[in-house]
Chain A
Amino acid sequence: MKKLVIRNIDQGALMKLNKILKNTFLVLFACLVLSACATSKKSTGQMQGDVYTGTDTVEYLASGVPDRVFFATNESVLTTASRETLRKQAAWLRKNSDITIVLEGHADERGTREYNLALGERRANAAKDYLMTYGISSNRISVLSYGKERPVDSGSNPLAWSKNRRSVTVKAN
């Protein structure tokens, strides 16, 4: 419990910081997209703390329903953005009651293989628990951890790692 309190304070501070920086980031990001020449600074606009906030790798379960949420290093706590994504998924799942899903939990390459398998499972379950609080029955959800075995981005840099720390909701039927 103690850990959770500390984290909330951190996140509050980060959010304030983010509000201040957000506009700057948007401008910067636009510049990068337009210029398409600078690759080295790309990471600045797509992470908050070390959680990925970009959309490069995101796919959609339905229009406006992103398929994945991202995590901080070694964490399985859902960010505000992640919770929003999962609420959209829950709404979509409630509308399509015949659909079942697999939550695939992943970790980045900066951890030992076995611990990362457990961490991926913990992340996918964080997503599962949240979907369940929004009325999705647990028998429609299965969980599969890949640990660090299936990165989406093969780079060895903080941005690539942030894209790989994820839980992806995949249609199972």
Chain B
Amino acid sequence: MRNLIILFLIFIIPSKALGLIEVDITRGNLNPLPIAVSPLSIDDESKKNFEKTLKKKDIGSEISKVIEKNLKTSGLFNPLDKNAFLQAPDIAHLKPRFEDWNLIKAQALITGKVKNVDDKLRVEFRLWDVLAGKEMMALAFTTVPNNWRRVGHIITDKVYERLTGEKGYFDTRIIYVAEEGPKTKRIKKLAIMDQDGANNKFLTLGNELVLTPRFNPTSQMVTYLSYFRNLPRVYLLDIETGIQEVVGDFPGMTFAPRFSPDGKKIIMSFAKDGNSDIYTMDLENRIVEKITNHPSIDTSPSYSPDGKFICFNSDRSGYQQIYVMKSDGSNVKRISFGNGLYGTPVWSPRGDLIAFTKLHKGKFYIGVMRTDGSGERLLTENFYQEAPSWSPNGRVLIFYRETKTNDKGEGFSAKLWSIDLTGYNERLVDTPTDASDPSWSSLLSN
């Protein structure tokens, strides 16, 4: 192992071209890596079969489009125009003519092959380093044909991991609140979609107000706030079965729910007599524990990934600030000391950072700080934005942004946006309706 590392270093120091390509994701990437995604080749018979079952003319080409869009959205890659490709997909997959790919300035190449095997979808792909003229990775998957988009996401995750050295975040879903109607009578529904906006599905009908859905990091469960029967309470929803239940038996509003990293507890606020404190409920034995006990507002709790600490929002100093405590509620420490108000702290899945919303001089910011409050970095400024949620690899944040209305109250919209931890690559996330309160799932496959 040690020899391998040394060898790698020797290759990389004299000339980068000699080592295999890699992508640095720790800085804002202003020179995304030129990558060619060759359409996955497919034999005529498989093509006909899948055209019947999936209503897609060329599923190989569709999968490559999913990969291409993912790579482009990451901001780290620049997928090249397919019209410039010289080599046919099936031949390229066997053995690329690297000079041809070099000619169009591709540094990496993805090729692949799709086949119908017993009515299943079999996809193999290869990642090539064009400059070094070497294969970097080769993998094959077999799955039900309906999973074809997921195959595209999984391939992207593998490529991303191979080239950046970190896990990807493409085979994931986003749960959020879909919004419609005038600001004063907004209709809100739970909705879920793939990370790239495909397969959007509404999970509630909009009869009651729903807010702040959050994924269980270990399963397809969701916790959220519903105003069912005008009683705002935290609910638990199984998105596979649609079964939902109220969490705990509290004589008042429960809100701001999140799962513990092991998925076994829900942490949330309970408001009574003008005071909000933080509680947990164990989902197995239903035991409720009071974590904070202070006459101020304590809300927006979020666990550290090891479950040992909780960051939360409190106005015990007079204004909204971010605090960290041990998971039993001891050792409460304020960590935000900059100018302005701080809210919605969320602990990064990598453990090293806390993302937050900040309000300062009438502007809202999404930012990150270290878990001791040092190194505050603001990523984006706007009229209104809040509620960041981390991608499972801790590299991207998704949040929502609202626009200012004019004096007649016109021009309101709420949309999801994503931004890299570096502050670069800010992007609108397409949703069929207005949207807010996004929450990013863990990787569906590992």
Contact = CB atoms under 8 A, between A and B. Distances in A.
B386 A113 contact: yes
B405 A118 contact: no
A151 B357 CA distance: 22
Contacts of A40: 407
Contacts of A152: 184
Contacts of A76: 274
Contacts of A3: 318
B232 A160 contact: no
A122 B404 CA distance: 27
B319 A114 contact: no
A40 B407 CA distance: 9
B359 interface: yes
Contacts of A154: 182-184, 405, 409, 412
Contact of A149 (B186, B359, B405): B186
A47 B116 CA distance: 70
A121 B253 contact: yes
A115 B359 contact: no
Contact of B320 (A109, A115, A144, A153): A115
B123 interface: no
B299 interface: yes
B407 A122 contact: no
Contacts of B387: 112-113
Interface in B156-196: 182-186
A119 B407 CA distance: 25
A74 B296 CA distance: 13
Contacts of A157: 407
B107 interface: no
Contacts of A109: 384, 402
Indicate the size class of the contact surface on chain A. 20 to 34
B217 interface: no
A119 B319 CA distance: 12
Contacts, number: 112
B230 interface: yes
A37 to B, nearest CB: 14
B271 interface: yes
Contacts of B297: 115, 118-119, 122
B274 A122 contact: yes
Interface string A58-93: 000000000000000010100000000000000000
A156 interface: yes
Contact of B357 (A112, A124, A150): A112
B255 A114 contact: yes
Nearest to B383: A156
B274 A156 contact: no
B318 A114 contact: no
Contacts of B212: 113-114
A117 B387 CA distance: 14
B64 interface: no
B292 interface: no
A16 to B, nearest CB: 25
Nearest to A123: B274
Given A110-B359, A155-B409, A157-B407, A117 B343 contact: no
B58 interface: no
Nearest to A76: B274
B381 to A, nearest CB: 15
A92 B108 CA distance: 77
Contacts of B406: 155-156
A156 B405 contact: yes
Contacts of B404: 156
A111 interface: yes
B269 interface: yes
Contacts of A101: none
A121 B255 CA distance: 11
Nearest to A153: B409
B310 to A, nearest CB: 14
Given A115-B297, A117-B256, A119-B297, A144 B344 contact: no
Interface string B378-415: 00000110110000000000000010111111001000
Given A110-B384, A121-B253, A144-B232, A150 B344 contact: no
A145 interface: yes
Contact of B359 (A111, A129, A155): A111
Residue of A117, A126, A150, A157 ringed by the most chain B CB atoms within 10 A: A117
B426 interface: no
Q: Which 4 A-B pairs have the closest CB atoms?
A: A154-B409, A125-B274, A112-B343, A154-B183
Given A112-B386, A121-B276, A156-B412, 20 more contacts: A111-B320, A111-B343, A111-B359, A113-B211, A115-B297, A115-B299, A118-B255, A118-B269, A118-B276, A118-B297, A122-B275, A125-B273, A125-B274, A126-B274, A144-B253, A145-B253, A145-B271, A154-B183, A154-B412, A156-B404
17 contacts: A76-B274, A109-B384, A110-B362, A112-B344, A114-B344, A115-B343, A117-B299, A121-B274, A143-B252, A144-B232, A149-B211, A153-B184, A153-B409, A154-B405, A154-B409, A155-B407, A156-B383
Interface of B: 182-186, 209, 211-212, 225, 230, 232, 252-253, 255-256, 269, 271, 273-276, 297, 299-300, 313, 315, 318-320, 341, 343-344, 357, 359, 362, 383-384, 386-387, 402, 404-409, 412, 436-437
